[in-house]
Structure 1
Amino acid sequence: MSSFNDPDAVARYLEGPIAKVPGLAALHRMAELLLAEVVPDDGRMLVLGAGGGLELKAFAVARPGWRLVGVDPSAAMLGLAEETLGTLAPGIQLIEGYIDDAPETTFDGAACLLTLHFLSPEARLHTLRELRRRLRPGAPLVVAHHSFDTSEAGKTRWLRRYAAFASPSGRLAPGADAANAAMRERLPVMSPEAEVRLLEQAGFEGIELFYAGFTFRGWVGYRV
C-alpha cells in the first residue's frame, strides 16, 4: 500500500473507487442503512481504512448525530479525507494508524470498506478480532472488498471482468493482463466462503451478504 503515501497517487485516489467499484455510492448507502438498524442516532462509529473520506462523508451527511472516528495508516490519505469532508471535518476524529491504534473504547458499530483485501489472512483475522473487541455486544460490522473464486481460472476470469468494468470502453485496455497479474501478486484475495469463515472465527454471527459487484462482496455481521 506504499502508493497511498505517494502524493500523486493520493491526489488521484478518489477517481479509482468511483470508476472501479460498481455502485460505490449505493454501497455506502446500504452500509449506512444496515448500521443504522442497530446504531443509535447518537452512536459512536468506527471506520477503519478511512483514508479518502468518502464513506465518512456519506455517513456524516446521512446520520449527523453519529460520532465518527476514522482510522487510516496514511497521513496523506487522512489529509485527503479532510478535504473530502470539508466543513464536516471538525466534527470527525481522524487517527493515523492501524486497528491497534484505534481508541480502546466501546463503539456502537464499525465499517471497513475496500481495505481488508490488502491484508494477509493472519493480519485480517487479527484486525477483525480487534474490531470485535472494540464493539459492544450485538453491534454491527460492515465490510466490503475484493472477494471472488480464487482458483486459477476463477482469478483470471474475474480480474478480466474487473478490468473491463474499469475501462470506459468496457473492453480490456492494453496492459490490462499485466495489471491483473500484479493484482494477483499484491492482493491476498480470499473466496467468499473463506471470508464468512474468517468473520465467524473472529467472533461475529448473523453474517449476511448484502452487496455483490463483480469482484467485490460486502457482508454485515454482529458481535457475539
Structure 2
Amino acid sequence: MNIVDLTTPFTDPAVVAGYAEGTPRRVPGFADLHLMTLVLLSERAPDAARILVLGAGGGLELKTFAAARPNWMFVGVDPSGPMLDLARRTVGTLMHQVELVPGYADDAPPGPFDGATCLLTLHFLRRPERVQVLRALHRRLKPGAPLVVAHHSAPEGDTPERWLTRSVAFAAGAKVDATTASAATMAQHLPLLSAGEEEAVLTEAGFAEVSLFYAGFSFRGWVAVAGPAE
C-alpha cells in the first residue's frame, strides 16, 4: 500500500462511524497503551510540551493525552478529512490544546517538537516508506525527544498469520470462526516487518535507544529518542 492510499478505508462512512467503539476492542490493552505512551513522553517532555501526533484521525489518543496534560499542546496530523472531523468531536472541549492538520508527515509543522507518537499507522507502509515517514518525524523533533510507535508487527521466527489470527480472535471476543481467513487477508495487505527490522528502521531514520515496551499478540510498541540532526 502506498502512502497515498492510506485514506481509502478511512473515508468509508461505516469505518469512520465505528472507529471509536471498534478500535479499543481490536487492540489488546488499548487504553493502557495510551497511558504507557503518556508515561514515556512525560519522562523527557517539559511542563509545557508540544507533541506531534501522526495518524491522529479519530482523536482517541489526543483526548487521553490532552486530558492528562492540560499544559501540553498537540498537533495532530492525518490524511483523512472524515477522521479529522471525528477527532474534533472526540476531543470536544479540549480542542483548545489541539491543532489538526490534514496530510502526511511532511505536511506537519517543522517544529521542533518535544515528542511524537505514531500509533496503529506504520503497519500500512512498506519499509522504504516507513523510513521516509520516520525521517520526517526525526527532522521535527528536538534532539533527545521521545518517539512512541505501536502497530502490527511480525514476530521473529514465526508466521505473521499465526499472530494476526490471534489478534482477530481477540477482536471477535475469542471467537475463532473465520479468523484464519481474515488474518490471511491482513497478512497479504499489511507489509509487516519483524521486530528486528522494526528496530533497524528506527535506527536508520536517526533514532537511538530503541526499546520494546508493549506487546499484545501481533501488536508491538517501541520507544526511541531522536538522535542529533544529520
Which bin holds the TM-score, normalised by the shorter protein? over 0.9
What is the Cα deviation at residue 163 of structure 1?
Answer: 1.6
| 1:134-188 residue CA offsets vs partner (Å, 9 max, x unmatched) | 001110000000012276x5122112211211112x1212x32222222112111
Q: Given the alignment, which residue of 200, 205, 222 partners 1:202?
A: 205
What is the Cα deviation at residue 73 of structure 1?
Answer: 0.3
Distance in 1 (alpha carbons) for counterparts of 2:120 and 2:50: 21
* CA gap 1:186/1:89 in 2 versus in 1, 3 angstroms: same
| 1:70-99 residue CA offsets vs partner (Å, 9 max, x unmatched) | 000000000110111111123310000000
Distance in 2 (alpha carbons) for counterparts of 1:79 and 1:35: 26
Whether the 8 Å contact between 1:68 and 1:93 is mirrored in structure 2 is yes
**Equivalence for 2:3:** none
Q: Given the alignment, which residue of 189, 202, 213 partners 2:192?
A: 189
Distance in 2 (alpha carbons) for counterparts of 1:213 and 1:136: 30
**Equivalence for 1:36:** 42
**Equivalence for 2:33:** 27
What is the Cα deviation at residue 11 of structure 1?
Answer: 0.4
The total of aligned residue pairs comes to 221
Distance in 1 (alpha carbons) for counterparts of 2:36 and 2:27: 14
**Equivalence for 1:126:** 132
Is 1:154 aligned to 2:137, yes or no?
no
Q: Aligned-pair RMSD on alpha carbons? A: 1.2
Distance in 1 (alpha carbons) for counterparts of 2:32 and 2:144: 25
Q: What SS does the aligned partner of 1:208 have?
A: strand
Residue 84 of structure 2 aligns to which amino acid in structure 1? L
Distance in 2 (alpha carbons) for counterparts of 1:155 and 1:105: 36
| 1:36-90 residue CA offsets vs partner (Å, 9 max, x unmatched) | 1111110110000000101101110111111100000000000110111111123
Query: TM-score, normalising length from structure 1?
Result: 0.95
Distance in 2 (alpha carbons) for counterparts of 1:3 and 1:220: 27
Q: What SS does the aligned partner of 1:8 have?
A: helix
| 1:113-149 residue CA offsets vs partner (Å, 9 max, x unmatched) | 0000011111100000010000011100000000122
Residue 58 of structure 2 aligns to which amino acid in structure 1? G
Is 1:103 aligned to 2:115, yes or no?
no
Distance in 2 (alpha carbons) for counterparts of 1:63 and 1:104: 22
Runs of 5+ unmatched residues, structure 1: none
Whether the 8 Å contact between 1:10 and 1:80 is mirrored in structure 2 is yes
Query: TM-score, normalising length from structure 2?
Result: 0.93
Distance in 1 (alpha carbons) for counterparts of 2:22 and 2:205: 30
Q: What SS does the aligned partner of 2:19 have?
A: coil
**Equivalence for 1:218:** 221
Residue 164 of structure 1 aligns to which amino acid in structure 2? A
